[in-house]
Amino acid sequence: MSSGSLDPSARLALRPGAAPRRLALALIAAVSLALIGAALVVQHVEQIEPCPFCILQRYAYLCVAVTAAVAAGLGAAGVAGGRLAIALGTLGALAGAAVAGWQVKLQLFPNEAGSCSIRFQQTVNDLLLGRLIPSVFTGTGSCADTDFRLFGLTLPMWSLLWLTVLAVALALQLRRPAR
């Protein structure tokens, strides 16, 4: 069977370079979901209540996971829809990194930076996923809490690191030339 008689999705799979790109995007999606899973372990096993900024970071990880999976499914950066998904995922990761960075500032300088208000907490908890899956997307913890550390870093510090890594990984997928 010639490649001209294949359906478009099969031709995408045959394009040189598509498989490594799809694998990279699938890995990015899996890492993002694993990081949400790790946050849930900390929340439900270690009994550390997430704050509204933590919840916003979960949304960022979910954005990265969904957009990377969509891009992988579309054949990655060689397809316009795949490139758009990667760009949106990159923006989601950068937005999440900005939220994590602000939370790190709250933790390092609690008197100067303020904290999260009850109104902010209610606004974040009232987002759609907070109403649909409250055990994952709601939280009442303190934004400046630094009690839980892993290898000396607070969870927002880890989140800032991981969201930055994911943003760079996605941006590198965007930079790859389409074949």
Counted domains in the chain: 1
For position 76, what pLDDT does the model report? 56
For position 11, what pLDDT does the model report? 46
Residue 133, domain CATH? 1.20.1550.10
Residue 6 lies in a domain: no
For position 13, what pLDDT does the model report? 46
Q: pTM of the entire structure?
A: 0.81
Residue 12 lies in a domain: no
Residue 93 lies in a domain: yes
For position 150, what pLDDT does the model report? 83
Cα separation, 99 vs 35, whole angstroms = 16
Residue range(s) defining the domain that contains residue 61: 17-175
Residue 42 lies in a domain: yes
For position 68, what pLDDT does the model report? 93
Cβ burial of 142 (10 Å; 0-12, 13-18, 19+) is middle
Residue 36 lies in a domain: yes
For position 12, what pLDDT does the model report? 46
Q: Please report, for residues 18, 45, 73, 107, 171, the alpha-carbon distance to residue 146 in angstroms, rounded to integers and kept in the order given.
A: 43, 17, 39, 7, 31
Residue 111 lies in a domain: yes
Show the tokens assigned to 33. Answer: 């979901």
H or E stretch covering 149 = strand 149-150
Residue 4 lies in a domain: no
Cα separation, 8 vs 13, whole angstroms = 9
Residue 5 lies in a domain: no
For position 10, what pLDDT does the model report? 47
Q: Tell me the average confidence (pLDDT) per consecutive run of 10 residues in the chain, 179 residues long.
A: 50 56 90 95 89 91 94 70 88 96 87 69 78 80 78 92 96 72
